[in-house]
Structure 1
Amino acid sequence: MKTSVGFWLLAVLLLAASSFSQAQIVKKYFEDGDTLQLSPQPVSEKITSIVWYCDEYLLAEWVKDLIELRDHISFKGRTNLNTDTGVLEIRDMTAADSGVYSVEINNQVQSQVYKIVEIEDVPQPEVKVTLLCNSTSESCKLVCEGDVNKAGPLEYFWKKDDGEWEQSGQKMEVLNNEETQRVKTFSCRMKNLVSESDSEPIDNPLYQEKTPDCGLCVTLLDAVMRSLAVLAPCWAAVCLWTKRKTLCKCRNTHS
């Protein structure tokens, strides 16, 4: 008898583990105070019973002509269940409402479950430069950091000086080349499903202030000298003509 009981207990546990492993887990995120809406998978027949669970606890229940719609535990007065579609709405969500939500329609447990996670606004990030990074390094790594434990899935963006934001990863490697050496500052942006925040710009450790190109100076000076060489005879002719005109006026006056 003991062997038989142990066998069936083991079988039940294995069946439960198999069902969970085959579940389709859908992640959904909410902010504190949000209204959450959960939809069951469509069913072909008319719905006659609905039971929603949060983890292993009963959340909302309805059975046609037998059990009036009711909610339970901490969800009391915060739910709305559509008995035609099975869609569940929960108002004023809090961190305590995080968990795994599942539904049973017409006495059939659905394979799709929801993993509900609270999400917070992203903090203001900070750009940090890895050690041993200076103007002589071949490259440097920048990291966009912040306390993002409850920020959910994140996207990262980077900006050079006052340029456009470009999506990238949390870390960015910059090579020490002529293009990078002209960049004065780097900034990063964090973005999640509900908010975004930008860092303060940091100085580029690879920045090098460029001095005027001597070759260009020589070219400009040569151009100026050539122009003067062309204009000098004209200027001399104008001066000579002006001088002669002045002398002529003087002679006419004395006459």
Structure 2
Amino acid sequence: MRVLAIDGLAKTYEGAPAPVLSDVDLSVPEGQFICVLGPSGCGKTTLIRIVSQLIDPDTGTVQVAGSDTYRPGEDVCMVFQDHGLFPWYTVAKNIEYGLRIRHFPAQERKARVDRYLELIGLTGFGGRYPDQLSGGMRQRVGLARALACEPRVLLLDEPFAAVDAQTRERLQDELLGLWEQQKMTVLFVTHSIDEAAYLSDRVIVLRTLARQETDDLSPSICDDVVSELPRPRDRTTEAYREMLVRLRASLERAGG
């Protein structure tokens, strides 16, 4: 079943010399993990912000489960690069925030908070505040807040970019574990070839449009790379290295 459908999406920011997105068409089956890769300025973040309804496209449509009236915070949820936690709320109150504004009963909110604290390995931390957590822990809380809403589509905008390499790899494994448990559809923005190879079923490579003539624009999607790597992924294999080479070549064609 197709859970996310993007058709003819285009976006130009006011005052910009060229569009940031052009003629984006993307069909995503339910449960698929997709990474969006591309050079700076290619529209990766713009794309998922349009899907999350934080900004509007100039043209084109986005549908979730066949509807273009889907609900952000319910059908789709976003995890930001800077975690986006409210510093004046405890961990538990941050996680339940989306449930509270949707008027979930207190008992259900508590049950979900407890469940997702356990899933992210932070049982016992519900009473802490964000400034009492490490960077990696804050990102896990941001992820739990989105997952607690149990969305059809989870959007992530370079969520691990600000943490060290060791923490990043641990968070990648934790995210994959949660994805396999929840069977959700994921759209994950990254600038890292390795991260895209390690996480995704498909890698959507976006090209930069800044150097193209506006009357003869190519579609933003430069390549749609389907991964045949088995899970769990092993970074030491020849097949994994070949995937990195393939993605690097695609990124170079995209202008990266």
Higher share of residues assigned strand: 1
Q: TM-score, normalised by structure 1?
A: 0.25
Higher share of residues assigned helix: 2
Structure with larger Rg:
1
Q: TM-score, normalised by structure 2?
A: 0.25
